[in-house]
Structure 1
């Protein structure tokens, strides 16, 4: 899951099996430990002429936008706008149903080889997640067009998840506005909640007592796969998230509250 699917990090999904239910060691409240987590992100910007750009934030998901500050159709029912405040400063805004869910303030270094992104995600309940990304250019020439890979990330906001029993043989993974309730039978289960992306589903398998494998899709398109591991003392939850087309996973480490 890239940062932008941390946009949708705002979402991560789990859960379990018949005899475990309320006593399942995965259940409880979990808080992200930023110092132990590692987020790696890559994005691509391609100039198409006439102030038009192709943006790729994850996998093969490409969006084309005119950088005039107006809301334009984006992925999965969202809108996307890009405002050029100056040659070295862009504002990128994503909305769903008219509500802002992402604001990214992009700044270029003087030599054009470093891009900083002050990234804020807005949850349905009004709370926010703020990250500061620093990207290094891996392809392209000075200017925003090119291929960028993050070199450091800082999570400034509290990010918590809650895992509860679901029916007799499953679990629900809950964060504000988004609920993933599944059984670990390999079947796909739809998301619910005010922030759920239309057409999003989650399926999962229990590898063993302390390891889960979860697959996340939107309208049958693979978004990520996750390996979720519980520490032997059941107090640490590690999520290793693999995005299609990315060579490095994101690693989120949660501690039990």
Structure 2
């Protein structure tokens, strides 16, 4: 899931042998366990587009064709998927962004533009349901058009200043549960291609995930909101069972996010 939309690591919340493991019982599924992301081995690529849409007004695009148009006057305005979004212009080279879901702040960020206008630094904070935060520092380069903050931006480096853990448990025989304790979010999925509604206080209405098992060691997940694809993830556990890699493709982006987790 897109980070600015709902908390960037994917935003966000990105997640999921032997074939006999599913047949013999879920207890031996190689994906089951507690996993912690290793930032040094991960590559979190982000892309965004900001377009001038009138006086002090901007159209923001963080994934696919999902856009929201916001007047930069510091007030909460209708955003994507039932959220609100506010832009406060602190100076010509410094903006503050705040997203709320159900009136609760879920994302805040400070954008800083370089003097030559070609580099954007994003000090990003995601607020988790348990009260902890996700802190990221992104640096972007302008890859197309615009002036000031307007333009198409692609991240060139990132710094993760917080930990991210997830739990994977067996579910209903041959299914899996993906649990993000900090976000109090659970995805219970059976690998039959059907959409399964996720549970969590910061999730938008209509959020669901479908999945299919690609092999004994890997699964494919597709996150959707009201049937519209938000992201696609391939989750694969290493042959030695000590690491797990999630490769996430977000519609409209040229490069995937790659998260590497290690078993705790």
Query: What is the TM-score with the length of structure 2 in the denominator?
Result: 0.93
1:60-79 matches, within 5 Å, as 60-79=65-84
Aligned residues: 256
Tell me if 1:256 matches 2:263. yes
1:42 to 32, 43, 47: 47
Pairwise CA RMSD: 1.4
Q: Is the 8 A contact 2:7 2:127 kept in 1?
A: no
Q: Structure 2: how far apart are the matches of 1:207 and 1:43?
A: 31
CA drift at 1:178:
1.2
Q: Structure 2: how far apart are the matches of 1:96 and 1:248?
A: 28
Q: Structure 2: how far apart are the matches of 1:9 and 1:53?
A: 22
Residue 30 of structure 1 corresponds to 35
Q: Structure 1: how far apart are the matches of 2:11 and 2:211?
A: 19
SS at match of 1:247: coil
Tell me if 1:91 matches 2:93. no
Tell me if 1:207 matches 2:214. yes
Residue 12 of structure 2 corresponds to 10
Residue 122 of structure 1 corresponds to 127
1:58 to 63, 81, 103: 63
CA drift at 1:171:
1.1
CA drift at 1:130:
0.7
Q: Structure 1 stretches of 5 or more lacking a match?
A: none
CA drift at 1:198:
1.2
Q: Is the 8 A contact 2:106 2:202 kept in 1?
A: no
1:105-116 matches, within 5 Å, as 105-116=110-121
SS at match of 1:185: coil
SS at match of 2:81: helix
Cα deviations across residues 51-97 of structure 1 (Å, max 9, x unaligned)? 11100011110000000110011111110000000000000110001
SS at match of 1:132: strand
Q: Structure 2: how far apart are the matches of 1:190 and 1:246?
A: 25
- The 3 A distance-change label for structure 1 pair 245 and 254 is same
Residue 224 of structure 2 corresponds to 217
CA drift at 1:18:
5.2
Q: Structure 2: how far apart are the matches of 1:6 and 1:72?
A: 18
Residue 237 of structure 1 corresponds to 244
Q: Is the 8 A contact 1:36 1:253 kept in 2?
A: yes
Residue 168 of structure 2 corresponds to 163
- The 3 A distance-change label for structure 1 pair 19 and 197 is farther
